[in-house]
Structure 1
């Protein structure tokens, strides 16, 4: 494809120089542009409206034999932007944004539809959706509508290979404000795809897939139990006598490990706690309080690597204390975000129905591996 024949930086410059600033139209319109290098663009102008007929976009792309899509849009209807993004992906098109044109709010979702996505720093803006369509609804109806749209956005971002953690960033900015993304943020949230000339990152390089499988000796920990308190048991049996209970955040010393149980001393008492109840300081999964969506576990690294690299959604594999590998959804966000993401992924059948949210106390380190962005 022509778009591969020049570097991302080069054709961003060409497009920036070719485009001129004009006022965005009220509804979507489409104009055409061919660069000196022969890359054919369809430019999407205006605000996304629920009534926009996207068959006009399809006809413009097909008749012009377009390679890529550029945007000049302040946003608009979220569902219509997602619809356009999916159409862009189904047509195998790439997307580009430059600072001389605007792509903000819902437009950023349409941009994610590109197979290859390139953007200048500061050219994509995000913020909290206004959900104006919920005006006049009862509270319960409005809440349900917002939850449904949020689930649709999370599912769409995941399908497009972007990190749904971008939604969490967007929610920090009111609908009358815009947060323009830096180049590093667009990489972090996989808004843009890597330049072909860009060297692979360490996490992507196959030579680093087989990270150390050594499990550090657990010596110090913190109580972290999904119920808020963890029991200290008299022996390494689930049905043994409970000596005491300790709240999450309580520090403890780990004196040894018997199977799936730690022998611990805490607040002057000695007993046993299950591995799943203790966050270990020596492990490299060192974000206390982080929750993960675990979809399965496998018993060897090659199987874990295969699952992650062949997935349509971003996944990660973690070495666990029993030597197996836990496969999780790779996303950033708080507890409420993880619950919303789990519901969305289950509803779209993107993950097994027995997937669970876990504290990941048994995770030693992430060992694999940033998948290539799906082109499907």
Structure 2
């Protein structure tokens, strides 16, 4: 007999692996699954969440379109549809947040609708009905259900059958989701944001015009109108005394003459506040020099314009400088100031400088904020640089529009 060659060959016990034909614990374990990176798990989570989100969005969209469309001709139809579109904006916000967290898609939030300003309920509802963001979000919700079912089923099957290729499937499906989010849930372009800004600016213009009309009405009522009423009464009394007491009548006529002069001066000031004649006749250089002459500190005015801007732009520039110089007189404690106006390309630039105590800002009172809003309403800019101790430099920009020939 031939002896076994080794101790291992001589051992034929039950615990020896591979000899008795009984597999050990290692042979019974399934092959290890690969470890996926974090971004793959996030994509898988997003794809699995597609189905419940798609079901909710589809039900919302179909309900809005069916109920809102059926009630369009009724009193509550349009407001209900408008509210539903505002709600779809919130669903879009939720979807953008989900895409940002799980897919890494950075989509800018669309500009909010300027609904806070004045206007009737119908006007606000009409603004919401014309909102492209709400309608695109509604479209997104309406078409997502088949895609949500497809992605959910594909990922669930791949988890037990196609595990090795699941990362590639998830990446491809997630890329389609990324494209849909960017295409339907992002601001369409700069035009859309510009429309929202112009809607808001229109509200500023309306509010400003209403405030100016109230100021003019108040000035007429409290100033020139009151003086003219007193003048009429004084002349009536003078007429009664003309024969019996000529000296008293003459004194009353002299007093009425003084009232006429004061009323004329107030009417001139009021007309200057609306649109001064010197601005219409001679332009910004002469008009700003006239404003500077009424300032309590010496003001140097430099206007470097080859042509005159459009009347609307010229008027805004005049009133901007006028109000800034009033602030210099009242609040700056300055010793001198300067006004520079020039054109740079398609912009009209204004800079008012004073050597006062500084500390001015847009949050310091309604005057500066009002100027900033007025300039913003016509696509202008307004900046204040005023450290404590001074100096103060206020820069305003307006779009240049030339006068029609």
Same topology, TM > 0.5: no
**Rg larger in 1 or in 2?**
2
The TM-score normalised by the length of structure 1 is 0.22
